[in-house]
């Protein structure tokens, strides 16, 4: 098994060909650094996001992927000031968007950005749309607020948007209520609302959840076309790596509130270097496998985010874990070993003490003779018994 050389961190920090965090050369549209988000309640503090950092360039698409509860949606909501009041809060970090730190803006200034320059497609369109307002009114409200146009001009723009996202007979359907739309049409209406002010950044939170496969493909194709036509950047949040394949430029894989792998989508999908990413890919059906090939789920469960998680958060579920994984959290560094040369060119980064080789990634298990995953230290076993 190959381990990342100790000099990886220094190389990624000082090599001019590498942009820290996997960002593309140039000034990023959004730069998130060391983001921490917590939720407090019932005597517990849940640390949902633990030091998240990434960049999005103008016109770029990043896929933020991971299991439910990994902190994907929470991180996006925190950028827009949409965390639950008195419960969720950002405790550290910055999120600089077009020269302004979103996390430290007054509410009135953030409101001018939210919906105008940054828009969001929420996970569940039925609960996100107001049931007592028509679809048209919900679209025109944003246009009137941010563009300062007349009601007539806003309505004309709303009809054009519904037509743009593929709603048939848009001029008449604009007067319908959300319950009169199907699931796919509600999602299209949400997209129309998000695009109403031609934002520079679109945050799409699980935009294809609960939709059948045909509608999923239509929604993704719609987003792909609109992204090209409008030149906007997209942050696509999903738990399904199949959704981002062929859509995202880069992937950011999250686990337990942390980034564990970051790099070009094609690189990560073809050559994953983190055990968690390997597990996600092996749990998906593949066209290049025999039909009878069994899917392999990741054993175990995600950790309790109210605990300290001093070591690698994936250690209890990892077949490649080593002793230091129980005590030391691995930093995000260039993929090492046989991947190092390619990683230095494309910015492929991994947070792992013992990176699987390419052959091991393909096999889905360690191949070194006699290797066994490191057992937990005695102190951790005693602590679990006490709890």
Q: How confident is the model at residue 380 (pLDDT cuts 50, 70, 90)?
A: low
Question: Apex CA 265: angle with CA 6 and CA 212, to 5°?
Answer: 140
Residue 249 lies in a domain: yes
For the residues 19-35, what does the mean pLDDT come to?
72
DSSP-derived secondary structure for 279-312: HHHHTS--TTS-TTPPP-PPPS-PPPTTS---S-
pLDDT tens string 216-243 = 888 888 888 888 888 899 999 998 888 8
* Cβ proximity of 2 and 357 under 8 Å: yes
Residue 279 lies in a domain: yes
Phi, psi of 179, deg, nearest 5: -70, -15
Higher pLDDT, 154 or 386: 154
Residue 232 lies in a domain: yes
pLDDT surpasses 80 at 22: no
Residue 163 lies in a domain: no
Average pLDDT, the chain: 87
* Poorest-pLDDT segment among 2-6, 24-28, 192-196, 301-305: 2-6
The H-assigned helical ranges of the chain are 8-14, 72-79, 107-113, 125-128, 135-147, 151-164, 170-173, 183-194, 213-230, 241-244, 265-270, 275-282, 340-346, 358-363, 378-386
Domain harbouring 105, CATH code = 3.40.50.300
For the residues 176-182, what does the mean pLDDT come to?
94
Q: How confident is the model at residue 15 (pLDDT cuts 50, 70, 90)?
A: very low
pLDDT tens string 101-156 = 999 999 999 999 998 999 999 888 878 899 999 999 999 998 998 888 899 999 99
Q: How big is the chain, counted in residues?
A: 387
Phi, psi of 282, deg, nearest 5: -75, -15
* Cβ proximity of 101 and 94 under 8 Å: yes
pLDDT for 381: 54
pLDDT for 290: 61
Domains held by the chain: number: 1
For the residues 338-345, what does the mean pLDDT come to?
96
Question: For 38, what's the count of Cα atoms within 13 Å in the CB-facing half-sphere?
Answer: 12
pLDDT tens string 354-376 = 999 999 999 999 999 999 999 99
Phi, psi of 301, deg, nearest 5: -130, 155
Residue 178 lies in a domain: no
For the residues 332-360, what does the mean pLDDT come to?
96
Residue 45 lies in a domain: yes
| Domain that residue 297 falls in | 8-117+199-386
Give percent of the chain with pLDDT exceeding 70: 89
């Amino acid at each position: 098994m190959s381990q990342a050389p100790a000099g990886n961190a220094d190389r990624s920090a000082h090599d001019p060909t590498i942009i820290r965090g996997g960002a593309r050369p140039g000034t990023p549209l959004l730069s998130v650094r060391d983001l921490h988000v917590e939720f407090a309640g019932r005597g517990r503090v849940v640390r949902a996001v633990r030091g998240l950092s990434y960049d999005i360039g103008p016109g770029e698409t990043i896929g933020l992927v991971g299991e439910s509860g990994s902190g994907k949606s929470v991180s996006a909501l925190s950028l827009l000031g949409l965390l639950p009041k008195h419960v969720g809060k950002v405790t550290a970090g910055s999120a600089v968007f077009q020269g302004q730190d979103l996390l430290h803006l007054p509410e009135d200034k953030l409101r001018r950005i939210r919906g105008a320059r940054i828009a969001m497609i929420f996970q569940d369109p039925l609960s996100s749309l107001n049931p007592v307002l028509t679809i048209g009114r919900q679209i025109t409200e944003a246009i009137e607020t941010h563009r300062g146009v007349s009601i007539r001009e806003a309505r004309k723009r709303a009809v054009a948007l519904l037509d743009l996202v593929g709603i048939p007979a848009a001029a008449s359907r604009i007067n319908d209520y959300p319950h009169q739309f199907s699931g796919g049409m509600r999602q299209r209406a949400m997209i129309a609302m998000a695009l109403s002010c031609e934002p520079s950044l679109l945050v799409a939170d699980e935009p294809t959840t609960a939709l059948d496969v045909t509608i999923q493909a239509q929604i993704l194709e719609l987003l792909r076309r609109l992204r090209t036509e409008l030149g906007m950047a997209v942050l696509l949040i999903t738990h399904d790596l199949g959704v981002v394949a062929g859509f995202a430029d880069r992937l950011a894989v999250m686990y337990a509130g942390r980034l564990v792998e970051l790099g070009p989508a094609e690189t990560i999908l073809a050559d994953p270097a983190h055990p968690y990413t390997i597990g996600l890919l092996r749990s998906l059906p593949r066209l290049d496998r025999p039909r009878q090939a069994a899917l392999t789920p990741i054993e175990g469960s995600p950790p309790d985010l109210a605990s300290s998680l001093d070591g690698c958060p994936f250690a209890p579920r990892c077949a490649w874990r080593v002793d230091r994984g129980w005590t030391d959290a691995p930093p995000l560094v260039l993929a090492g070993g046989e991947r190092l040369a390619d990683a230095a060119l494309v910015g492929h980064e991994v947070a792992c003490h013992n990176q699987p080789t390419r052959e091991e990634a393909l096999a889905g298990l360690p191949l070194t003779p006699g290797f066994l995953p490191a057992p937990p230290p005695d102190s951790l076993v005693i602590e679990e018994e006490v709890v």
